[in-house]
């Protein structure tokens, strides 16, 4: 079984890789597109279809469809705004750390608080939490982790 430090370092590398690849941004934009499509269908298709049926008293139903559709558009907009601020691939992972990398000598150390989640922590009731420092230089594999909350096995 991997140590807590190893789990934290792998989780940090995975987060950095996902941010750099733009996978998080694409996922958030896909969810926003689904919300926008739901809003569009409710406002412009279902509501229009129900209003087209003669002698059907659905004033409150069509009103609620309009409200839910507009809410879906608002949620889609908030997801897009949050994705552009938080999951932007051009934004670097973590916060800068003062000092040079012990492995390569570059001044590109970054650190962030990490808590791993995923299939590799399946046997842990509470996965570890801690601060991970990674070198952002291409080719440098320097990484350290300081565990703040240790894991507990089941």
**How many other CB atoms sit within 10 Å of the CB of residue 126?**
13
pTM above 0.75, yes or no: no
Q: Identify whether the C-beta of residue 109 lies closer than 8 Å to the C-beta of residue 135.
A: yes
How far, in Å, CA of 69 to CA of 75, rounded? 10
Mean predicted lDDT score pLDDT of the chain: 86
Per-residue pLDDT at 68:
93
Q: Identify whether the C-beta of residue 131 lies closer than 8 Å to the C-beta of residue 113.
A: yes
pLDDT in tens, 32-56: 999 999 999 999 998 888 878 777 7
Q: Identify whether the C-beta of residue 4 lies closer than 8 Å to the C-beta of residue 123.
A: no
Q: Identify whether the C-beta of residue 39 lies closer than 8 Å to the C-beta of residue 9.
A: no
**Boundaries of every domain in the chain:** 4-19+92-153, 23-86
Per-residue pLDDT at 1:
57
Q: Identify whether the C-beta of residue 134 lies closer than 8 Å to the C-beta of residue 13.
A: yes
Q: State both tokens at 19.
A: 């941010």
Per-residue pLDDT at 122:
55
Q: Identify whether the C-beta of residue 116 lies closer than 8 Å to the C-beta of residue 10.
A: yes
Greatest mean pLDDT among 3-12, 67-76, 103-112, 117-126? 67-76
């Amino acid at each position: 079984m991997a140590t807590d430090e190893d789990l934290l370092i792998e989780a940090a590398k995975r987060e950095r890789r996902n941010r750099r690849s733009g996978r998080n941004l694409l996922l958030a934009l896909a969810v926003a597109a689904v919300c926008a499509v739901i809003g569009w269908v409710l406002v412009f298709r279902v509501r229009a279809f129900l209003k087209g049926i003669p002698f059907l008293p659905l004033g409150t139903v069509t009103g609620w469809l309009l409200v839910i559709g507009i809410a879906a558009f608002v949620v889609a907009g908030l997801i897009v705004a949050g994705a552009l601020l938080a999951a932007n691939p051009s934004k670097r992972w973590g916060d800068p750390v003062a000092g040079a990398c012990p492995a390569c000598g570059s001044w590109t150390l970054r650190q962030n608080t990490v808590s791993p989640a995923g299939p590799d922590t399946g046997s842990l009731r509470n996965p570890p939490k801690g601060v991970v420092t990674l070198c952002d230089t291409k080719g440098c594999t320097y990484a350290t982790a300081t565990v703040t909350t240790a894991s507990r096995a089941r």
